[in-house]
Amino acid sequence: MKEIEFASKLVQEYLTGKEIGVLATSNPDGSPLAMPMWFIHDSDGLALVSQADDMKVRNMRRDPRVGFVVETGSGGSIACIIVQGSAAFLSNESDRSRVGARFIDKYGVHMEKRWNGRSVPESRALFLIQPHRVKLWGTLATSD
């Protein structure tokens, strides 16, 4: 494994076009909870949306430390980015509109229909993963 900056060109290019990552949180008893999630990213971090009352959201409100993994490939050509960071919740309408529009641009108009508009609805939790540590694994760790 090799550490890298989240804002690096390699990380940003790898995440572009990827649709699903796995979010890991800690349950109250300390056991892990890993869930597939849609995401958007920029050089500062990752934005995710979930039902506001989901266990993963309750976990992050209690303990904001998270892990997030995005991987592709199979066999000897697996590439993976592992992010360790913390979750920060966003609630203002400006963030909900800006991030909602980016989700719809990435995942399609069915999101707009599901949300009844281009803004993240109040029934959803909107949060950012602020990366503290980023690691490359597999073929990404050997690329220059």
pLDDT tens, residue by residue, 2-37: 999 999 999 999 999 899 999 999 999 999 999 999
State the pLDDT at residue 144.
Answer: 58
What pTM, to 2 d.p., does this model score? Answer: 0.93
Of the options 2.40.40.20, 3.30.2320.80, 2.30.110.10, 3.40.50.300, the CATH number for the domain spanning 2-48+55-134: 2.30.110.10
Q: Give the CA distances from residue 9 to residues 42, 60, 87, 132, in Å, rounded to whole numbers and listed in that order.
A: 11, 28, 23, 17
Q: What percent of the chain has pLDDT over 90?
A: 82
The domain limits of the chain are: 2-48+55-134
Tokens of 16: 């572009």
Structure tokens at 113: 């229909």
Tens of pLDDT, residue by residue over 48-78, are 999 999 999 999 999 999 999 999 988 778 9
Residue 109: pLDDT band by 50, 70, 90 thresholds?
Answer: confident
Please give the average per-residue pLDDT across 112-138, as a whole number.
94
Report whether pLDDT(107) > 70.
Answer: yes
Q: What is the pLDDT of residue 85?
A: 98
Burial (CB count <10 Å: 0-12, 13-18, 19+), residue 89 = middle
The per-residue pLDDT of the chain, averaged, comes to 94
**What pLDDT shows up at residue 143?**
67
Spatial distance between the Cα atoms of 47 and 90, rounded to a whole number of angstroms: 10
- What are the DSSP calls for 107-143, one per residue? H-HHHHHHHTSSS--TTEEEEEEEEEEEEEEEHHHH-
- What is the dihedral angle through the alpha carbons of 109, 66, 51, 12, rounded to the nearest 10 degrees? -10
